[in-house]
Amino acid sequence: AQSVTQLDSQVPVFEEAPVELRCNYSSSVSVYLFWYVQYPNQGLQLLLKYLSGSTLVKGINGFEAEFNKSQTSFHLRKPSVHISDTAEYFCAVSGFATGGFKTIFGAGTRLFVKA
């Protein structure tokens, strides 16, 4: 079975400050890891994904994430946030399941960027 835990439900931060959104996962099989973002009143879109290779993954809008296998974590970071980064962020894992593969999401982290 797979599960995803996002450790913070809300993260308030001032503009131009750094931010880290934490994600831990568990799985009995190999998985692929994703971060998606949902801006207010919009659909989900992919920020970045980790498949293999380098543990530091760069995504869109200046975000990056680091895969840590020993800690089963995939934390999302940005060195300097903008007001426009205010959104909900979802960590997700994809792995094989009965009949195919499935993607499981965490509960989400709401990022509030304040001026």
Partner 1 sequence: DVKVTQSSRYLVKRTGEKVFLECVQDMDHENMFWYRQDPGLGLRLIYFSYDVKMKEKGDIPEGYSVSREKKERFSLILESASTNQTSMYLCASSPRRLNEKLFFGSGTQLSVL
Binding site for partner 1 (CB under 8 A): 6, 9, 32, 34, 36, 43-46, 49, 51, 90, 94-108
Between 71 and 98, CB nearer to partner 1 = 98
The answer to whether 64 and 49 are in contact (CB under 8 A) is: no
CB of 87 to partner 1, least distance (A): 14
Query: What is d(CA 10, CA 91) in angstroms, rounded to the nearest whole number?
Result: 14
Cα 9 from Cα 30, distance rounded (Å): 26
Q: Which is nearer to partner 1, 46 or 56 (CB)?
A: 46
Please state the closest distance from residue 91 (CB atom) to partner 1, in A. Answer: 9
- Greatest alpha-carbon span in the chain: 48
